Every structure is written in structure tokens, then in C-alpha cells.
Chain A
Amino acid sequence: MTTTFTDETRARAREIIARYPADRSRSALLPLLHLVQSEEGYVSPAGVEFCAEVLGLNKAQVGAVATFYTMYKRRPTGDYLVSVCTNTMCNVLGGQEVYDTLTEHLGVGHDETTADGKITLEHAECLAACDYGPVMTVNYDFFDGVDPQTALGVVDELRSGGRPQPSRGARLCTLKEMAVQLAGFADERDGAVADGVPGEPTLRGLRLAQQHGISVPGFDPNTPIPSKAEADQAAAKAKAAEPAKAPAQPAAPTAGAGQPARSAEATGSTAPDVKAPDDKSPEVRAAETRQPDARTAVPDAPGTKVPVDGAPPAPRDAREAEAAGAASNAPAGDGKPAGDSTEAQDRNLREAESVTGTAASSDRGSQK
């Protein structure tokens, strides 16, 4: 069966897929499901097949995603989706009465559509406009501070062909037109992006600050960004000058000389900022404590030798830990992993074979 989607939809699908990395086209699935809704008003079996086809998925994979998200509708919808918030805050402020009134007036329940195909009603969970509660949305644009009467006015106007103006946001479009925007395309209606002004609750704190002339003092947009490279250079200069002043400690500068602190160029290393007794990662600390002879120094571990010279520090803690482990475990001469000597490995193998009685040395056996 071939799906019936228009060439325009197919072109849009290609555009959506091109937004994501070439080998990660599956990321386009959510916008594509919005896209098929823009043509059919819901995610139909044909819509699922279309998404599967363009992404190289199977229908079960697409269906599993489509049924997870509440904005993908599974039955045909009306031109206008009326969502009434009945979550706690809107609920106690009167949202439940609004919803109950609309249910009775329209004669439909949650996720149902009126017989004239105009309105689909739903109760919604928090719509992120609690300071305007109780709120409802029509095709996701807000009507603030509604009561049963204003809500009835809105739905009656919608059913008689009008398009009431939302409290904030753009003038209404149909649900299918909205689905195009949800698929990631610009709102092409002239000036729709400019529609709507911030409501008073949004500006409440700002108005107070403006009325009383309050701003945050001390803001200087030309404050320099501290540079570590420059700080290091300054520190190196200071250090170079230091031995002349303090000749009594000859040992420390020798060790430092081989590793001029951190390289000023971009190695990508970022200074670890762990608030711990010392600033090493637990992995490094554990490796060092277990292997006090390891090359990386632990000043307070017994028997630790401070290295005389050495390679510059590896950029990441993990590599330090690895190095600490490898340094104290000479690799076996046969290229097998570091740790066990050749004899030990042979012994393990023999033991394993004698226990299991088979030639295959199971993992469990060789670990003994």
C-alpha cells in the first residue's frame, strides 16, 4: 500500500531529516509525527507507515513512539483543540468548573470531538502559566484567567466560525496549521510572530523595579574574562625569579622544571574542581593508594617516591589512573594484558582446565 501524502509533505519530510546528523535520522521522528498530523489531523496508520518509510524504521518502532506522547492524537481531531488545565493550581482556582461546564455544553468528554468536527476537548496537565490561572488553550495558544462564562464564549465563537483572540500569543490558526509549526517550520502568517504582548503577571516584578528605580549595581560589560594562560605566564615568571630569592630549597624546582605547569596552549584539559580533601578523582586516589610505588606521587602515602622527572601530566584523570595502574604492572612479554606473568597465566589455564574438565577455559575458571 502506498501512502497518500502530498509532495509538499514529502518535501518537508526531507527538510526535517536534513536538520539532524546523517546517520541519526531517527531524531526526525518526533517532528515527522507532527508533520503527518498536519495533513491528517491525527497519526493514522498511513501516517505511521509514512514515517517508517522515510526513516527506514518498521511500523512497530514508529507506533511505539506515536502512542507514548499525548500530543499525537490517535483519532481524527477537530479544527480547534481546547485544552483546559485541571492540574492543582488551576483546579483550585476554578479550572475544574471550566472543564465541567465545557463538557456539558459541548456534550463531549476528554479527548472527544464535537459532531460538527470543530472542537476537540481535553483536560490538560500543567500548561506552565500558573501565574495566569486558571488557563485554557486553543491549539496551544493561551486564554488566561478564564471562568465558565468566558470559556463558553470562546467555544461558541469558534463553533460559529469566529476566531477569538488569545490573551497572549498569536491569532488562532487551525490545529493542522499548528502541526506544521510543531514540525519545526516558521509561522508563515504575516506578523504572527509579533502578535501578543507580555501579560501583567509576567512583568510584575519588573514593573516594581522600574517604578522604584531598582537595578543591579556594578554591572560593567567590559569586565575582562580572566585568562589562565596569562596567569600561568605570570606565575612562571614569578617562579623563575624565585630561586634567586630562596636558594635554600633546591629540590623542588628541579622536579617542576621538566613540567612547566600546564601547557598554555589548548590541550582541552580543564582544571578539576572537585571539593574534596584533595582535588584528585576517587579513581586516581584509589589507584595510588593501592600502588604506593606508582609513578604518580601521593605525598602522604607511606613509601611514596616523588618522581624526579617524567612526562607531562595526562589531560584526564582516567588516563592518570590508567597510567598509575600500568606503571606498577609490567606487561607480560607475550603481549597479553598487563597484570599476570606468563607462568601465572599458564597456571590459571591449567587449573581451569582441570576443574572444568574441558579444553575451553571458562572465564570463571581463569579468574581463580
Chain B
Amino acid sequence: MTSPRPETLAKLTPVLTKRWLSPDAWRIGTYERLDGYAALRKALKAHPDDLIQLVKDSGLRGRGGAGFPTGLKWGFIPQGDGKPHYLVVNADEGEPGTCKDLPLMTHDPHSLVEGVIIASYAIRANRAYIYIRGEAVHAARRLRNAVQEAYAKGYLGKNILRSGFDLDLVVHSGAGAYICGEETALLDSLEGFRGQPRLRPPFPATHGLYASPTVVNNVGTIASVPYIVAGGAAWWKSMGTEKSAGPMIYSLSGRIANPGQFECGLGITLRELIELAGGMQPGHNLKFWTPGGSSTPLLTAEHLDVPMDFEGVAVAGSILGTTATQIFSDQDCPVYATYRWLEFYHHESCGKCTPCREGNYWMVRVYRRILAGQGTHEDLDTLLDTCDNVLGRSFCGLGDGATSSVTSSLKYFKQDYLDYIEGRTAPRLSDKQLVGAH
């Protein structure tokens, strides 16, 4: 393992992660000593519209995958409409590969709580929810504890810091459904229904939780807000690229020497990230990778120098997503990897839209057949045809995401498929797993 070069090290931007090294940062006392809740005091003295403008000026974009400008989203909330407003934090982290929000909530939960209070004040919401993935129990423990501490210190509840602003915050645990990471499915789930996406428009900005104006933001987005309020828009824009401003937590996993979380300015390349992670594991050569979770099309070794910001990855034909960078080597099979992801989408499809529910069900079976050495050349056409009929034909992006790895792996690694079909690669699955595959 070689040490990263200084110019690569200089791309590290510890901002959201900076308190993680303090083992007690999850306690309110430690958090306050580390500048905690200072941004809140500052924000409560400002006009809410000025906060929205500040976030607009900072260029902050959603950290949950879509990269929508956060200030713009806040500005969509109709003001003076007489309806209650809500802030809902999407903490239902579950996209395969993604592991940035759980450590943040576990090791620095107050930064999220502080962001929630500031954001609620800006959009004039008096009730906020954090919808946290059910399985994320330790993060939820710390978060519930943080909320309790914040109430006790007067950061939550009635007349926060004598500003006249009231806010109640509830940490709501999900129950194991990936689809609830989709914002409208999350809202349905939070209302006590099956988590199934809604048809849009109307958008949550006007008809969200309880048919009222609602902002749904990712954990990383909301946790960024106190830093923007404290350091200003210009400082925030000193990190990242012009259109993708700020720091981003890149989650590296797979065949690298030191997997983990690396917070860098947006626009770093995979080559640099692998350098930070100590290089590839001995004996492994990069073969394919996901820039932002399994719903983003695969990229290959030829994309090592693509800038990983919203624009750069799009130009390369993929999506930045959640910057969950899963790295696979020449010892991993792209056909098998795609099959496992499809099993996931098949399991997690909520069943509302036929193309996604049926398309994933059948594609899994086609993959099993190919991997059992019984595939045909027509199977590849069937897969692409199925993807055509799933992509863009469902209410939400789950179906679209499912097709990403299929079409991209067929684009870059068709030969690997043909090797199974033409018998050059030994079958990976046995016949008994083929029940129902025709």
C-alpha cells in the first residue's frame, strides 16, 4: 500500500464528518463545545426568507441521489397559505452500497437535529419527522437520545431559545422496506399506509404529508445546513465544482485496500478515491464500479478519471446517486452481480406498478437461467426488451434503477453473458434454483 500523494490528500474536505473523531460528539455537551447549536442561534435571528436565499446561494443540492437544488425546493413551499408545513428527513438509507447516513446519525446526531430546526424555521414548519430505516437501530438510539437532549435544553419544543418559534420533532422508525426511501412512498408510510409511491403532480411541496406542503430532504442535505449557516454560501462553494458545490461523503466499498468513508469536494475522480483508499487489494484489478449505488449504471476502468459530481457522471452515462462507490475487480462477475441486484429489486418492488413488479420478477428468472448455463442468445434480447418496458413506466424510480445495471452490464460486458450462454464459463447456480424459470 502506497501513501496518497499530497495533491490527492488536499481533496479531502472534512466538514460533515469532522466530529466523528470525538468519541462523545453524540452527547449534547460535547456537541455544544464543538460549535454545536451556534448556527441555530444565528439562524433564529435571521429572516426565514434570508435562510432560504442563503441555501439557494450556497448551491447545495440534495444528497439523497437526485441532486435537486435544496434552496429551490424550500422556496416551492407556499407561504402564508394557512396550512401546516412539514419537514420530513429521509433517513431510510438502504440503496445497495450506500452507508453514509448511518454513521452520521450514530456519531453526530445533533448536527442533523440542528439542521432540522434551522430548515423547519426557514420553511415555517412546526412539526418535523425523521423517518429512519427500521434496521438502523443504533443510529436511532443515538438520534432519539439527541432529540431528548435537545428538548431538555430548549432547542426543541415551544418558543425555542425565546425566538417564538415552536418545533416538535419525532423520530419514526420504518419497518424494512427499501421503497420507503422514495419520498412519496415514505410519506405514505409515515401516514400509516403501505409504502407505495404516489403519482406526481401534485408534488410534496404542495401536497405532501397529510396533503400539506412538505419538504423531504436527505440526512446529508439537512446536516449540511448548519455549516452553510455558520460558514456562509461563499465558503461552502469553495468546495466542489461550480454546479455541484460543497463536500460529499464518498462511501467506498469492495476490492480496495481500505474501504470506508471519505469526505471530499464534489468532483473528485475514482482514481483519486482509490488512491486515498490505499489502492486496489493485491491481485485485484478494477473491472466495474457503481458511482452511486446499485441504481446507477455501472462504469468501468475507462471511467477512472470522470469527475464525480452531478454533471461529470451524467456525461459518462451514469448518475452520481448517493456516491456509494462499490468497486469490483476482475475476480468478480458482472453477470452475477447484476443478478444479485435484481433479486434485490424484485424483493423490494412494492408491487404497485405492473412493469416494475413483473419485469423484475421475470428478469431474475432469466438471470438464473443464464447463470445455470441454460441461457440462450434470445435471453439477452429479452432482458433489453424487458428493460425497455420497465424504464420510465412506473410511478417512481425503483424500476428505472433496476434496469441500470442490466443495460449497462450488457453494454460493457456482453462477452461475460455470452461466456455463460456458450458454455465457456462454468455455471454459477445449480439447476435446483431454476424452478419457474422458463
Contacts and interface: CB of A to CB of B under 8 A. Distances in A.
Contact of B194 (A24, A65, A139): A65
A30 B137 contact: no
Interface string A25-40: 0111111011000000
A300 to B, nearest CB: 25
B50 A131 contact: no
Interface string A16-28: 0001110010111
B300 interface: no
Contacts of B101: 128
A267 interface: yes
Contacts of B194: 64-65, 68
A296 B12 CA distance: 50
Chain A to chain B: the 9 pairs with minimum beta-carbon distance, closest first: A268-B79, A204-B260, A223-B232, A201-B260, A205-B262, A69-B175, A26-B192, A130-B253, A29-B192
Nearest to A69: B175
Interface of A: 19-21, 24, 26-31, 33-34, 55, 64-65, 68-72, 83, 86-89, 91-93, 124-133, 137, 139-142, 168-170, 178, 181-184, 186-187, 192-193, 196-198, 200-210, 212, 214-221, 223-229, 266-273, 315-316
A225 B51 contact: yes
Contacts of B134: 34, 69, 71, 140, 182
Given A34-B173, A89-B97, 14 more contacts: A65-B194, A69-B175, A91-B340, A125-B94, A126-B94, A127-B135, A181-B144, A196-B106, A198-B107, A209-B14, A217-B238, A220-B231, A268-B49, A270-B53
Contacts of A198: 20, 23, 103, 106-107
Interface string B81-120: 0000000000001111111011100110000000000000
Nearest to B86: A21
A194 B137 CA distance: 13
Contacts of B252: 131
Given A69-B175, A270-B79, A204 B141 contact: no
Contact of B172 (A70, A184, A203): A184
Given A169-B137, A181-B140, A273-B72, A130 B54 contact: no
B211 to A, nearest CB: 11
B271 interface: no
A194 to B, nearest CB: 8
Interface of B: 4, 6, 9-10, 12-15, 17-18, 20-21, 23, 26, 35, 38-39, 42-43, 46-54, 56-57, 69, 71-72, 74-75, 78-80, 93-99, 101-103, 106-107, 124, 127, 133-138, 140-142, 144-145, 148, 170-178, 189-195, 210, 229-232, 234-235, 238-239, 247, 250-254, 258-264, 276-277, 294, 324, 326, 328, 332, 336-337, 340-341, 344, 347-348, 350
Contacts of A197: 23
Contacts of B80: 267-269, 315
A267 B261 CA distance: 43
A89 B96 contact: yes
A3 to B, nearest CB: 19
Given A34-B173, A131-B99, A269-B79, A68 B195 contact: yes
Given A126-B94, A272-B75, A273-B75, A69 B177 contact: yes
A90 to B, nearest CB: 9
Contacts of B107: 198, 202
Given A34-B173, A71-B175, A225 B20 contact: no
A170 B140 CA distance: 12
A201 B140 contact: no
Contacts of B144: 181, 184, 186
A19 B340 contact: no
Contacts of B35: 221
B238 A129 contact: no
Given A204-B258, A209-B12, A125 B42 contact: no
Given A68-B194, A206-B17, A129 B277 contact: no
Nearest to B133: A128
A205 B190 CA distance: 35
Nearest to B350: A68
Nearest to A225: B46
B45 to A, nearest CB: 8
A223 B35 CA distance: 14
Contact of A126 (B75, B95, B173, B231): B95
